């Protein structure tokens, strides 16, 4: 029977029943599961979990014995309330914007935040640690959380989630959530190119980093993770800190080439590992080229300065006592010598959100 005939012959059927039927047909036609979120909206994923380095860290380093922290002014000056939360930037960082863009919640709290509440757990938390990397030497030399530490904390989190929502609901959340990862930047820029802590060729080191990524993903998979988004390394030679070794004006081609080689290997691994891990989806997301485009063509995106950070340092982080922090952050692609500004992150985030939504 056609829909028209059904309508003509269904005079005794209430409009409420008709609407219910149409809604049922629409739901059956949809191939995506939609989750209710903490904010009352809908999202493709019930939660997001972030791992890796400062691109995603939302404050896990605050109480660590490390110099790699930024819970002081001028950090956070564009964050709601102008609060320095430990995020490596002037405001929100990429993990916040991706979480928000996916419709999960506005901010992604740090797992080590002493104010973290049980109600925050089901919608995701951040385990990333500024200064960390895939090489244990990278985190060890800076006193931050190695990837192994982040995996242990996630295992601990799983136990807490079970206690909050019950084992069955916890499994559903873990299996359906998005696992976001940014790692490799500090390994390449610091451990290999700057400190020379690994006596091997860079192709060998890149293989080591990619194998470490694979091992980490397998660890998450064993705990219930199924959907992974791997962010590429940044154009490291064009960061303000990357330009410093070659005079500050030009990009370091050596660092950029190293990042590109790592990215190509990471992309290949993500494809092969997806086929190996049952019911998994591992997507490589290219951040290198979009950020490089911002740096090379700042005026096209509403920026004026792309070779130095707003707080005017060539060392990685802003100095809280420096009087030279720029008054006009939106003009700058970079906030400090290593991290994009919130405005730059906002330019990058939509494409990442789209790629994650299509997984």
Predicted local distance difference test score (pLDDT) of residue 315: 64
Please state, in angstroms and as integers, the Cα–Cα distance from residue 128 to each residue in 49, 62, 243, 298, following that order: 9, 12, 25, 29
Predicted local distance difference test score (pLDDT) of residue 321: 75
Decide if 114 contacts 60 (C-beta within 8 A): no
Predicted local distance difference test score (pLDDT) of residue 259: 98
Q: What is the pLDDT of residues 238-271, one digit of tens each?
A: 999 999 888 878 999 999 999 999 999 999 999 9
Please state, in angstroms and as integers, the Cα–Cα distance from residue 131 to each residue in 60, 88, 187, 257, following that order: 11, 10, 9, 21
Which residue has better confidence, 7 or 255?
255
Nearest CA-CA partner of 210 in 126, 284, 291: 284
Nearest CA-CA partner of 212 in 129, 126, 133: 133
Cα dihedral 332→139→283→300 (10° resolution): 10
Catalytic residue status for 54 = yes
Nearest CA-CA partner of 232 in 49, 45, 98, 55: 55
Q: Which residues of 143-177 are buried (b: 16+ CB within 10 A; e: fewer)?
A: ebbbbebbbebbeebbeebeeebeeeebeebbebb
Which residue has better confidence, 102 or 14?
102
Decide if 242 contacts 252 (C-beta within 8 A): yes
Q: In the block, which residue shows the tokens 């959340």? A: 173
Strands in the chain per DSSP E? 35-36, 42-43, 48-52, 178-182, 227-231, 281-285, 305-309, 332-334
Question: Residue 71 contacts by C-beta under 8 Å, 6 or more apart in sequence?
Answer: 59, 61, 62, 84, 85, 86
Predicted local distance difference test score (pLDDT) of residue 244: 87
pTM of the full structure: 0.88
Percent above pLDDT 70 for the chain: 87
In this prediction, residue 36 has a pLDDT band, given cuts at 50, 70 and 90, of very low
CB atoms closer than 10 angstroms to residue 96: 27
Among 135, 187, 339, 341, the active-site one is: 339
Catalytic residue status for 289 = no
* Mean pLDDT (whole number) for 285-304: 98
Q: Which residues of 80-90 are buried (b: 16+ CB within 10 A; e: fewer)?
A: eeeebbbbbbb
Please return the burial class of 355, using the count of CB atoms within 10 Å of its CB with bins 0-12, 13-18 and 19+. Answer: middle
State the pairing for strand pair 305-309/281-285.
unpaired
State the pairing for strand pair 178-182/227-231.
parallel
Predicted local distance difference test score (pLDDT) of residue 24: 34
Q: What is the pLDDT of residues 125-139, one digit of tens each?
A: 999 999 999 999 999
State the pairing for strand pair 35-36/42-43.
antiparallel
- For residue 193, the 8-state DSSP code is I
Q: Extract the tokens encoding 51.
A: 């791992």
Among 120, 132, 336, 341, the active-site one is: 336
C-alpha 262, offset from chain centre: 18
Kind plus residue range of the DSSP H or E element containing 293: helix 288-296
State the pairing for strand pair 178-182/42-43.
unpaired
Among 53, 54, 57, 241, the active-site one is: 54
Given a cut of 90, whether residue 117 has pLDDT beyond it is yes
């Amino acid at each position: 029977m056609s829909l028209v005939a059904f309508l003509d012959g269904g005079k005794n059927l209430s409009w409420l029943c008709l609407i219910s039927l149409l809604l049922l047909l629409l739901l059956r036609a949809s191939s995506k599961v939609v989750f209710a979120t903490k904010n009352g909206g809908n999202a493709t994923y019930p939660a997001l979990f972030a791992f890796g380095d400062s691109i995603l860290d939302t404050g896990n380093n605050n109480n660590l014995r490390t110099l790699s922290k930024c819970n002081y002014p001028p950090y956070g000056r564009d964050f709601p309330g102008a609060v320095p939360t430990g995020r490596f930037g002037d405001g929100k960082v990429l993990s916040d914007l991706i979480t928000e863009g996916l419709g999960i919640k506005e901010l992604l709290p740090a797992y080590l935040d002493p104010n973290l509440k049980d109600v925050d757990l089901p919608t995701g938390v951040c385990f990333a640690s500024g200064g960390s990397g895939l090489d244990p030497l990278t985190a060890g030399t800076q006193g931050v959380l190695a990837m192994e530490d982040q995996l242990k904390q996630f295992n601990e989190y799983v136990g807490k989630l079970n206690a909050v929502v019950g084992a069955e609901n916890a499994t559903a959340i873990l299996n359906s959530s998005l696992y976001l990862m940014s790692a490799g930047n500090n390994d390449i820029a610091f451990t290999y190119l700057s400190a020379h802590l690994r006596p091997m060729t860079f192709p060998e080191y890149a293989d080591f980093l990619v194998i470490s990524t694979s091992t980490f993903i397998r660890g998450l998979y064993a705990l219930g993770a199924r959907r992974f988004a791997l962010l590429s390394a940044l154009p490291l030679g064009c960061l303000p800190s990357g330009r410093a070794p070659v005079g500050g004006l030009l990009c370091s081609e050596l660092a950029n080439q190293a990042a590109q080689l790592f990215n190509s290997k990471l992309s290949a691994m993500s494809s092969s590992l997806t086929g190996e891990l049952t019911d998994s989806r591992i997507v490589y997301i290219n951040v290198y080229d979009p950020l490089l485009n911002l740096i090379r063509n700042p005026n096209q995106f509403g920026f004026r300065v792309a070779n130095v950070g707003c707080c005017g340092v060539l060392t990685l982080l802003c100095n809280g006592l420096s009087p030279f922090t720029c008054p006009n952050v939106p003009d700058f692609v970079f906030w400090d010598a290593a991290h994009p500004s919130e405005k730059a992150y906002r330019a990058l985030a939509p494409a990442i959100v789209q790629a994650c939504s299509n997984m």
